[in-house]
Amino acid sequence: MPVFKLNVNNKEYTVETESDMPLLWVLRDLLDLTGTKYGCGVASCGACTVIMDGNAVYACQRTVSTCVNKKIITIEGLSEDGSHPVQKAWQKAGVPQCGYCQPGQMMAAAALLGKNKKPSEELINETMSENLCRCGTYHRIKEAIHMAIEEINK
């Protein structure tokens, strides 16, 4: 079985698995990083969103073989103590209802704000429309993103 070296949350991991195993299952089953959620498996919901080389990507659609030499950040690696502006804003705004989709939502927002510290309303809407929330907390998600923008730009 092939061996792959991955950089996840600024740590080096070596995994032995088939080359076509989705990153989602590598994170959850092999590395025990269960914050990244399985939602649909077909890149339609965003529950599995992680940041790879600064971009929000669906972990269900990336095979482990395509993740070598990439910097991968999961919700567990966003900050060790919950101090990332997005995490603080999510808590302050009381975003989660069931909470299942929220790691993916936060990772999408963090990737957006990592690239653009003052995104337009249109860009926020466009970016976040790719992540679904069955509980309908979209207004609180947007509120939290605006709080994070304020924090980042202080």
3.90.25.10, 3.10.20.30, 3.40.228.10, 1.10.10.10: CATH of 3-77: 3.10.20.30
**What sign has the CA pseudo-torsion 111, 39, 121, 78?**
negative
User: What pTM, to 2 d.p., does this model score?
Assistant: 0.96
Boundaries of every domain in the chain: 3-77, 85-152
Superfamily (CATH H level) for 85-152: [2Fe-2S]-binding domain (1.10.150.120)
pLDDT digits (tens, 9 = 90+) for 37-71: 999 999 999 999 999 999 999 999 999 999 999 99
Question: What would the mean pLDDT of 9-23 be, rounded to a whole number?
Answer: 98
Alpha helical stretches, state H, the chain: 23-25, 85-93, 102-115, 121-128, 138-152
